[in-house]
Structure 1
Amino acid sequence: MIGIVMFFTALFMLLIGFPVAFTFAAVSVFFGMIAGIAEVLSYSDEGMTFMNILTEGLHEGILMFDYMPFRIFSIQQNTILMAIPMFIFMGIVLQKTGLAEKLLESMGFLFGEIRGGVAISTVLVGTLLAASTGVVGASVVAMGVISLPVMMKYKYNTPLACGTICASGTLGQIIPPSIVLIILGDVFQVPVGDLFAAAVWPGLALVGAYIIYILIVSFANKDMAPPIPADPSRGDKKQQVLKALIDIIPSLTLIVLVLGSIFAGIATPTESAAVGCIGAVLLSILYKTFTVGMVKEAALESVKITSMVFGILIGATAFSMVFSYTGGEEIVEHFMMSLPGDEKWGFIIFTMLAILILGFFIDFIEISYIIVPILIPVSQTLGIDPVWFAILIALNLQTSFLTPPFGFSLFYLKGCAPSSVTTTQIYKGVLPFIAIQIVVLSIVAFYPELFGMSISE
């Protein structure tokens, strides 16, 4: 039971605000020592003094970490994870080019004359930003700064406007290139390209579901999302369409270069991430926002975010090693295999509910590196297809960005929204979109063949 106690201790420390990487590392060392002492106690005799037991136990605990340097070195050699800093750099550079602003302005005027048009354009721009940057914080802040004031000016329902922005910003979690999918590819040891290809249709289904919901509520209640009058200063409809295409083509070109090279088998995700970085810099030159200072700032931010991810990964590696050594994996496997009903579906339903609940409190990186490795041996025993299971988890982790009280998208939007927008309005606005995500997750779970996937290997 040491491993189970260790798991809940780490979870409690995360909930009260301890730094993630240090929590995993410290809890691992502490419980590793306890496990060593427990092992010595199991074979100790009456002749052993307390100090002997303590000394030998601590020695056994330290021996457990002998192979830790080799694990860290293998992480550093992992070519899959090399894509993370490059995709982060690409996203930050694109954020600074003003790409989101240009897309939102053009598409907002393009769709604004229909009910819910600005909200629909926000979803479509969120899709393009997801496929070209994948940075949730940047997408939410950009759309919050530009799109929210427009929607409020034209008397959009505030919760609907806030929910649309938060949900659209999180599409970068499931639509490739996604950092979550890269991490899950590493954890599941499956090709990231396979995950990218498998995630496209579920991601687009989610986009379609958002737009359908916005259209339904807009036409059911005409005051929720009124149309925006045409702006003669922007020219006729033909000119507006032409301007929108000019703003969309650069980002679409980048998407084709990055994702097309992966899907066509021309490049690995790591190689395509490098292409994406070059493309992002070229776009910054095209939009005349390129400066050496901008590149330096983007590189520094990328290093900070990447260091956080790798710090958590090293702490999580120590955690999973101790958890496995103390027999935690066997207890979890026994529990999962004894769930009522069909073993496979009992396991899937329980894990999806557990990840959904954990997503209310802890970040997707911690879930990916701590919870998922515990579940993988059970899924392999049950013969569950790893790509399908990974996509379910990715969809579920996307929901964690929206779920109150700690959803990151909620904080991002609150930080850039006008003071008149309350936290309660943001929470109220995201609830329908959380329900939509759960519905799409259920469809992917029960009807995977619709998305070209299967339940079993």
Structure 2
Amino acid sequence: MSHEMIALLMFSSLLLLLLTGQRVFGVVGFVGAVASLFLWGDGGAEMPFNASIVLLNWFPMLTLPLFIFMGYILSESGIADDLYKMLHVWMGPLRGGLAIGTVVLMVAISAMNGLSVAGMAIGTSIALPEMLKRGYDKKMVTGVIQAGSSLGIMVPPSIVLVLYGMIARQPVSQLWLAGVLPGLLFAVLFIGYIVIRCFIQKDLGPALSAEERAQITWSEKMRLLRAGVLPLIIVFTVTGLFMMGVTSLVESSAVGAGAATLAALANRRLSFKVLDSALHKTLSVSCMFMWIILAALCFGAVFDGLGAVHAIEILFLDEWGLSPWGVLIMMQVSYIIMGMFLDDTAMLVIVAPLYIPLIIELGFNPVWYGVLYTVTCQIAYMTPPFGYNLFLMKAMAPKEVTLVDIYGSIVPFVILMVIGLGLVMAFPQIALYLPQLYFGG
């Protein structure tokens, strides 16, 4: 059997087993380990073991639990709630103001946690009931929360970009900077759409009533402003210290976790229940990521041994006759298709060993490609009929929000994200300007 056929058999087996509903890391690691045993005999059993040693030697792995803990402390202690109350008071008088504030909240939550699920959970529990209570259109608000929460995998400290950097061997600091302007671009596109849509259809996002605004005094507004700015100060201090070179990546994650804990303690919100919940969720998510990376290393090592990257190159360039940009577009389409069934980490595990070496060989910047990967994941999450975020929203939303509403709510935001993806592809400097400005070259 040729190496190309073996690689195709591994890939098809992987997809087939994933459809059974088994855990991603178990499927990926199983296929990689079994393939190594069949290909190289007893010596192949050392491949998963070597992968685990590589994982344990990755010092940046310490950043994952620390950044995740920072986000959960801020959300579980209610400090993130203060931020939304501030946005509610200050943005509410505008038409669509609460929806605009929700997008800002999602960006802030992304900067606190680095995970889209956290933004979705906070958005559905805090923002969604408030907007529905004030007469906002349910399609509008569910679309806003889904689109805004997807920014969690792009805005620093994005956990997905950390994973991409580890698997692709690219500097996390450059990836974080590369995600800033595209993340803000998408936020501006979302806010612009809300403003225009609510200006045309005033009933979609009514402003707070005059009576409700009159009940809020200036002293109350300033108190909420101080409380809401606190989590933003923590986040930007962490990121700022790292970008200025004062702290390393691991040290900045420790500073963030420590600062979030001290903020919760100072606000008298650091109870045993809060700490216990944050630690349990941190442990659960961190272990999931570590097992996935371990499986990815094993699976990728087998693919490297087979020369599958060379086979993919021959298929795209020689047999199909695609140009480098044609190859890139084909990769993005495959992400969207896989994203209907898999989450971002699973996609990264499957395609990173194949796509990233080819991207570098074709002359594309791997940091820029990391941003394209995250943007396409965002689009895939929200693409019917099987987008990951669609069913997550249905599970968290109240009963009056149907799956049909959720499908309809996301269409304009998917269109905006496709436009944004096209802009980042056509103008790579949107992603590369800050890394080049900061690091040079």
- Tell me the amino acid that sits aligned with residue 68 of structure 1: P
Counterpart of 2:216 (choices 235, 257, 267) is 235
Residue 300 of structure 1 and its aligned partner are, at CA, apart by 2.4
Distance in 1 (alpha carbons) for counterparts of 2:182 and 2:220? 31
Q: Given the alignment, which residue of 11, 19, 36 partners 1:15?
A: 19
**2:242–2:252 CA contact under 8 A, matched in 1:** yes
Cα distance in 1 for residues equivalent to 2:220 and 2:333: 45
Task: Please give the alpha-carbon distance, in whole angstroms, between the structure 2 residues aligned to 1:15 and 1:438.
Answer: 27
Partner of 1:248: 228
Instruction: Rate the CA distance shift 1:288–1:211 in 2: closer, same or farther, 3 A.
Output: same
Report 1:183-262 matches (<5 A): 183-230=163-210, 231-232=212-213, 234-236=215-217, 238-239=218-219, 241-262=221-242
Q: Distance in 2 between matches of 1:159 and 1:78?
A: 44
Counterpart position of 1:57: none
Find the counterpart in structure 2 of residue 82 from structure 1: 62
- Give the alignment's Cα RMSD to 1 decimal: 2.1
Are 1:404 and 2:408 counterparts? no
Residues 143, 409 of structure 2: 8 Å contact kept: yes
- Which residue among 409, 429, 432 is the counterpart of 2:409? 429
| Distance change >3 Å, CA 400–CA 288, structure 1 → 2 | farther
The CA deviation at 1:287 is 2.7
TM-aligned CA deviation for residue 366 of structure 1: 1.2
CA drift of 1:406 comes to 4.2
Is the deviation greater in 98-107 or in 357-366? 98-107
- Amino acid of the structure 1 residue aligned with 2:56: Q
In structure 2, what is the Cα distance between the partners aligned to 1:253 and 1:125? Answer: 14
Q: Is the 8 A contact 1:103 1:247 kept in 2?
A: yes
CA distance in 2, matches of 1:408, 1:20: 14
Out of 94, 108, 117, the residue aligned to residue 88 of structure 2 is 108
| Structure 1 position 234, deviation (Å) | 4.0
Asked if 1:30 corresponds to 2:10, the answer is no
Residues 340-379 of structure 1, C-alpha deviations (whole Å, 9 max, x = no match)? 6773211211111111221111111111122122111111
1:383 aligns with 2:387: no
Q: Does 1:166 align with 2:179?
A: no
Question: Is the 8 Å Cα contact of residues 76 and 277 (structure 2) preserved in structure 1?
Answer: no
- The residue aligned with 2:300 is 320
Q: 1 CA distance for matches of 2:220 and 2:321?
A: 57
| Structure with larger Rg | 1
**Alignment partners' CA distance in 1, 2:181 and 2:349:** 25
SS in 2 for 1:82: helix
Identity %: 29
Judged with a 3 Å threshold, the aligned counterparts in structure 2 of structure 1 residues 16 and 155 are, in CA distance, closer, same or farther, namely same
Q: Is the 8 A contact 1:355 1:397 kept in 2?
A: yes
Match status 1:63 vs 2:43: yes
The CA deviation at 1:118 is 0.8
State the shift of 1:241 in Å: 4.4
User: How many residues end up aligned between the 2 structures?
Assistant: 431
Secondary structure of 1:228 counterpart: coil
The separation in 1 between residues aligned to 2:160 and 2:11, in whole angstroms, is 22
Asked if the contact 1:258–1:276 (Cα under 8 Å) also holds between the matched residues in 2, the reply is: yes
Which residue among 2, 5, 23 is the counterpart of 2:6?
2
Change (3 A) 1:452 1:365: closer
Q: Of 97, 112, 116, which aligns to 1:132? A: 112
- Residue in structure 2 matched with residue 157 of structure 1 by the alignment: 137
Deviation at 1:68, TM superposition (A): 3.2
1:9-67 CA-partner distances (Å, limit 9, x unpaired): 11122123122111112222333344x3xxxxxxxxxxxxxxxxxxxxxxx33322324
Aligned to 1:393: 373
Once structures 1 and 2 are overlaid, which stretch shifts more, 382-391 or 243-252?
Answer: 243-252
Task: Measure the CA separation in 1 of the matches of 2:119 and 2:219.
Answer: 27
2:336 aligned with 1:356, yes or no?
yes
> Secondary structure at 1:222's aligned position in 2?
coil
Name the CA distance, whole Å, in 1 between partners of 2:186 and 2:6. Answer: 41
C-alpha distance in structure 1 between counterparts of 2:178 and 2:271, whole Å:
37
The CA distance in 2 between the partners of 1:390 and 1:326, in whole Å, is 24
Displacement of 1:265:
1.6
Q: How does 1:272-421 map to 2 (within 5 A)?
A: 272-338=252-318, 343-421=323-401
Residues 201 and 162 (structure 1), Cα distance of their counterparts in 2 relative to 1, 3 Å cut: same
Secondary structure (helix, strand or coil) at the match of 2:401 reads: coil
Partner Cα distance (2:126, 2:274) in 1: 21
Whether the 8 Å CA contact 1:403–1:434 is kept in 2: the answer is yes
1:181 aligns with 2:161: yes
Q: What CA distance in whole angstroms lies between the structure 2 residues aligned with 1:157 and 1:346?
A: 40
CA contact (8 A) 1:261 1:267 kept: yes
Tell whether the 8 Å contact from 2:93 to 2:213 is kept in structure 1 after alignment. Answer: no
Q: CA deviation at 1:254?
A: 0.6
Q: Which residue does 1:39 correspond to in 2?
A: none
Which deviates more from structure 2 when the two are superposed, residues 336-345 or residues 295-304?
336-345
Q: Please give the alpha-carbon distance, in whole angstroms, between the structure 2 residues aligned to 1:182 and 1:452.
A: 17
The match for 1:42 is: none
Displacement after TM superposition at 1:441 (Å)? 1.2
In structure 2, C-alpha distance between the alignment counterparts of 1:5 and 1:152, rounded to whole Å: 49
- Partner residue in 2 for 1:148: 128
Q: Distance in 2 between matches of 1:410 and 1:278?
A: 34
SS of the counterpart of 1:338? helix
1:450 offset after TM fit, Å?
3.9
Shift of 1:232: 4.6
Structure 1 position 339, deviation (Å): 7.2
Decide whether aligned partners of structure 1 residues 426 and 243 sit closer, same or farther in structure 2, where only a CA change above 3 A counts.
Answer: farther
AA in 1 matched with 2:58: N
Preserved contact between residue 194 and residue 387 of structure 1 (Cα < 8 Å): yes
